[in-house]
């Protein structure tokens, strides 16, 4: 037993984060007979995965038999504008069907085809109907399934527990555990482990208009960065095209892409379908040019007919649709509250809408005073997902710090410059499992190393520092400032001046009072440190990449650059003096047989 003055838990593998990726990693390691600790900031089953709506992408080929991993791989690479780590995109496309089928074994009940198999729906950037789903609550089905299976595999779950630092011992190059506190009591806790998996999700809470829960504060990215790991692709923040824009209370709340998958169309104030005016060269060959063709494709592809028509532009990848909405609003053709209209009412029957999109129906009825079976929704872009994150080895998900792994949204590489809808739920299953597997192997092969008491003491001092500050703004005010700054300077359209100003902006250091017992303000100060680290990384990476690609759009460099920026990822890491270093690294070469797969059509 390690000697610390705090409550200490020993595990072979420690998993931080209990969304889909964390649960899947913990299940894998636990099933191998190892002692696994699973730490989460909220109650189990409340992680942001629960919000995922439209579906999980896997080339099962149940609706379109021509689908296979190669098509899925091609779609993913193209959607990511070829900045993806090819090996991750390949593993993902190959393994996703097994991971989905496995969920069925653990109790998940996806919607069915007429012949009793898992039904799949159309989604943006996916050539064929590919998303296994349960109405518009797929994430809930997945997290509940993983949770109900996971708790019986022997893992220990530490709920409402926040990790503030990874521990790397006196050597500093291998993870030895983590330091954190119980949200309930405010007491500190130490985890001593042979290996650690980070699965902490995204950073949406750094933006004013976002679709994320309070937990998405970039914890894993910041923890890994501070412990010596590298971040990558941080300039790519996905703005989901369809967030609610009205009323103010729910601004940013997600509307599933499944609405468009079920036939919904985007229209401006003149009732004109907007997406036909925004079809980029890259997608011109596969996108319908007329409403008739788009509707024919929708009708046929959803009824099992092999359609000769091309796909509707309403289902172009998210970066393209989000910028199209941004442009329409800027040109004065938006809806009354600064979005555009999303119409499903004239496209499907009221019964269909209630059956296929029940959560959307209720969300709008109860929070937006809109009946979506009779009236259009008002929608606009909302910060949703970060493609960037912790740089990992594509085969093992290990970071640059030995014994430290990362999976799911907090890891980088799988999605490149833009993620396709549905690929995050499959990402967290595929790479959650791989991270859990290799963290378990690492734990089997490597004895634990001692905790360093000095390191723990430093972590403790850092955590209580906000109480010692006599003056300083309220942490919620600091957060509000940060969100406004990120929205303004590092938003959907960027330029050199804004990004530079953003880096100079300072949201200040918060102070806090009161006991540590379930103190929300104190918790916020710790999340703020993480958000600030990750926000800086996003601004620095955005400043360096002088082109527009995927989710990263520069007004001063509006074109995609084929010469230089097509070939490099932007990396961020902490220098010895504590400053953030930003550098370019060449993409790994794609083997010829994989190149061939990419070129097939």
Q: Give 8 or 396: the residue with its C-beta nearer to another protein.
A: 8
Q: Give 148 or 500: the residue with its C-beta nearer to another protein.
A: 148
Q: Give 106 or 276: the residue with its C-beta nearer to another protein.
A: 106
Out of 183, 205, 260, 554, the active site residue is: 260
Under rule CB under 8 A, residue 360 binds another protein: no
Contact 412, 233 (CB under 8 A): yes
C-alpha–C-alpha distance, residues 41 and 257, integer Å: 28
- Span 243-272, contacts to another protein by CB under 8 A: 246-250, 253-254
Q: Give 112 or 330: the residue with its C-beta nearer to another protein.
A: 112
**Interface mask toward another protein for 39-68; x: CB under 8 A:** ---xxxxxxx-xx-----------------
Q: Give 276 or 476: the residue with its C-beta nearer to another protein.
A: 476
Under rule CB under 8 A, residue 160 binds another protein: yes
Q: What residues form DSSP beta bridges with 342?
A: 266, 377
Burial pattern 390-418, b for ≥16 Cβ within 10 A else e, equals bbbbbeebbbbbbbbbbbbbbbbbbbbbb
Judged by CB under 8 A, the residue of 173, 477, 556, 584 near another protein is 477
- Span 84-143, contacts to another protein by CB under 8 A: 101, 104-107, 109, 111-112, 115-118, 134-135, 137, 139-141
Distance of closest approach, residue 253 Cβ to another protein, in angstroms: 5
Q: What is the DSSP letter of 402?
A: B
Judged by CB under 8 A, the residue of 265, 363, 373, 418 near another protein is 363
Tell me the window of 146-154, 447-455, 500-508, 530-538 that interacts with another protein (CB under 8 A). Answer: 146-154
For the chain, the straight-line distance linking the first and the last C-alpha, in angstroms and rounded, comes to 58
Q: What is the DSSP letter of 210?
A: B
Out of 121, 126, 133, 240, the active site residue is: 240
- Written as six digits, the tokens of 525 are 């100060």
Tokens 């270093």 map to which residue?
A: 581
List C-alpha distances in Å: 263 to 212, 343, 384, 570: 25, 9, 22, 37
Cα 174 to its chain centre, rounded Å, is 26
Judged by CB under 8 A, the residue of 2, 10, 94, 214 near another protein is 214
Contact 400, 391 (CB under 8 A): yes
Burial pattern 359-385, b for ≥16 Cβ within 10 A else e, equals bbbebbeeebebebbebbbbbbbbbbb
Q: Give 284 or 477: the residue with its C-beta nearer to another protein.
A: 477
Distance of closest approach, residue 192 Cβ to another protein, in angstroms: 15
Residue 447 burial (CB < 10 Å; 0-12/13-18/19+)? exposed
- Written as six digits, the tokens of 317 are 């990848």
- Span 518-547, contacts to another protein by CB under 8 A: 518-522, 524
Under rule CB under 8 A, residue 179 binds another protein: no
Q: Give 368 or 394: the residue with its C-beta nearer to another protein.
A: 368
Distance of closest approach, residue 149 Cβ to another protein, in angstroms: 6
Distance of closest approach, residue 223 Cβ to another protein, in angstroms: 20
Q: Give 34 or 499: the residue with its C-beta nearer to another protein.
A: 34
Cα 408 to its chain centre, rounded Å, is 7
**What DSSP string describes 230-285?**
PEE-TT-EEEEEEEE-SSGGGTT-B--THHHHTT-EEE-TT--B-GGGG--GGGGG
Which region holds residue 416: left if phi is over 0, alpha if psi is between -120 and 50, else beta?
Answer: left
Judged by CB under 8 A, the residue of 157, 425, 486, 534 near another protein is 157
Distance of closest approach, residue 394 Cβ to another protein, in angstroms: 28
Under rule CB under 8 A, residue 192 binds another protein: no
Under rule CB under 8 A, residue 338 binds another protein: no
- Span 406-465, contacts to another protein by CB under 8 A: 464
Under rule CB under 8 A, residue 578 binds another protein: no
Distance of closest approach, residue 84 Cβ to another protein, in angstroms: 28
- Written as six digits, the tokens of 542 are 């955005």
Tell me the window of 76-84, 361-369, 490-498, 554-562 that interacts with another protein (CB under 8 A). Answer: 361-369
C-alpha–C-alpha distance, residues 599 and 121, integer Å: 25
Nearest to 419 by CA among 78, 87, 22: 78
Judged by CB under 8 A, the residue of 213, 238, 530, 569 near another protein is 213
# binding residues, another protein (CB under 8 A): 86
* 240 a catalytic residue: yes
Q: Give 185 or 393: the residue with its C-beta nearer to another protein.
A: 185
Judged by CB under 8 A, the residue of 65, 66, 154, 371 near another protein is 154
3-class DSSP state for residue 378? strand
Q: Classify strands 377-386 and 340-343 as parallel, antiparallel or unpaired.
A: antiparallel
Q: Give 68 or 185: the residue with its C-beta nearer to another protein.
A: 185
* 517 a catalytic residue: no
**What DSSP string describes 512-570?**
--S-STT-HHHHHHHHHHHHHHHHHHHHHHHHH--S-BTTB-BSSS-SPPTTTGGGEEE
Distance of closest approach, residue 240 Cβ to another protein, in angstroms: 13
Tell me the window of 339-347, 392-400, 412-420, 512-520 that interacts with another protein (CB under 8 A). Answer: 512-520
Judged by CB under 8 A, the residue of 99, 516, 549, 552 near another protein is 516
Distance of closest approach, residue 185 Cβ to another protein, in angstroms: 4
Distance of closest approach, residue 108 Cβ to another protein, in angstroms: 9
User: What are the φ and ψ backbone dihedral angles of 356, each rounded to 5 degrees?
Assistant: -85, -30
Tell me the window of 224-232, 385-393, 511-519, 553-561 that interacts with another protein (CB under 8 A). Answer: 511-519
| Consecutive H or E run containing 165 | strand 161-167
Indicate which residues carry an active-site annotation: 240, 260
């Amino acid at each position: 037993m390690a000697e610390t003055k705090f409550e200490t838990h020993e595990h072979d593998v420690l998993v931080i984060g209990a969304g889909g990726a964390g649960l899947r990693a913990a299940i894998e390691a636990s099933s191998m007979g190892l002692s696994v600790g699973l730490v989460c900031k909220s109650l189990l089953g409340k992680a942001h995965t629960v919000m995922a709506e439209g579906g999980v992408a896997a080339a099962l080929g149940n609706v379109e038999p021509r689908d296979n991993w190669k098509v899925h791989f091609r779609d993913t690479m193209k959607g990511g504008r070829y900045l993806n780590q090819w090996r991750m995109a390949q593993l993902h496309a190959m393994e996703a069907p097994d991971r989905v089928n496995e969920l069925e074994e653990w109790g998940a009940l996806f919607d069915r085809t007429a012949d009793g198999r898992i039904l799949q729906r159309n989604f943006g950037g996916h050539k064929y109907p590919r998303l296994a789903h349960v109405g518009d609550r797929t994430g809930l089905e997945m997290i509940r399934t993983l949770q109900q299976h996971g708790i019986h595999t022997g893992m220990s779950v530490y709920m409402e527990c926040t990790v503030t630092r990874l521990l790397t011992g006196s050597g500093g190059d291998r993870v030895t555990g983590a330091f954190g506190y119980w949200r309930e009591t405010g007491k500190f806790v130490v985890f001593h482990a042979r290996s650690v998996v980070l699965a902490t999700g995204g950073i949406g809470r750094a933006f004013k208009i976002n679709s994320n829960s309070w937990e998405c504060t970039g914890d894993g990215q910041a923890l890994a960065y501070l412990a010596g790991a590298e971040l990558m692709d941080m300039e790519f923040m996905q703005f989901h095209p369809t967030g609610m824009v009205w009323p103010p209370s729910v601004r940013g709340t997600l509307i599933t892409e499944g609405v468009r998958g079920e036939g919904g169309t985007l229209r401006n104030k003149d009732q004109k379908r907007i997406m036909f005016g925004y079809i980029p060269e890259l997608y011109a060959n596969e996108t319908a040019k007329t409403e008739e063709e788009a509707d024919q494709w929708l009708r046929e592809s959803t009824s099992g007919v092999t359609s000769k028509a091309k796909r509707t532009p309403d289902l172009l990848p998210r970066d393209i649709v989000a910028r199209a909405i941004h442009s329409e609003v800027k040109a004065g053709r938006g809806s009354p509250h600064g979005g555009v209209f999303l119409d499903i009412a004239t496209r499907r029957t009221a019964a269909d809408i209630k059956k296929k999109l029940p959560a959307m129906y209720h969300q709008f009825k109860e929070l937006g005073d809109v009946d979506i079976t009779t009236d259009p929704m008002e929608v606009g872009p909302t910060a949703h997902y970060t493609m960037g994150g912790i740089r990992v080895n594509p085969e093992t998900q290990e970071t640059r710090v030995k014994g430290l792994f990362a999976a799911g949204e907090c890891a980088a590489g799988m999605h490149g410059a833009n993620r396709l809808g549905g690929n995050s739920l499959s990402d967290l299953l595929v790479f959650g499992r791989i991270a859990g597997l290799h963290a378990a192997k690492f734990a089997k092969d490597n004895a634990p190393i001692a905790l360093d008491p000095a390191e723990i003491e430093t972590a403790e001092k850092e955590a209580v520092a906000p109480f010692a500050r006599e003056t300083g703004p309220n942490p919620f005010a600091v957060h509000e400032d940060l969100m406004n700054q990120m929205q303004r300077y590092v938003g959907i359209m960027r330029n050199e001046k804004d990004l530079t100003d953003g880096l100079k902006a300072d949201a200040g250091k918060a102070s806090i009072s009161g006991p540590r017992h379930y103190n929300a303000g104190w918790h916020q100060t710790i999340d703020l440190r993480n958000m600030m680290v990750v926000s800086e990384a996003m601004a620095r990476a955005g400043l360096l990449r002088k082109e527009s690609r995927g989710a990263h759009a520069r007004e001063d460099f509006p074109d995609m650059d084929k010469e230089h920026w097509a070939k490099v990822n932007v990396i961020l890491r902490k220098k010895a003096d504590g400053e953030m270093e930003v550098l370019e690294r060449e993409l790994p070469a794609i083997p010829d047989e994989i190149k061939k797969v990419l070129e097939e059509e």
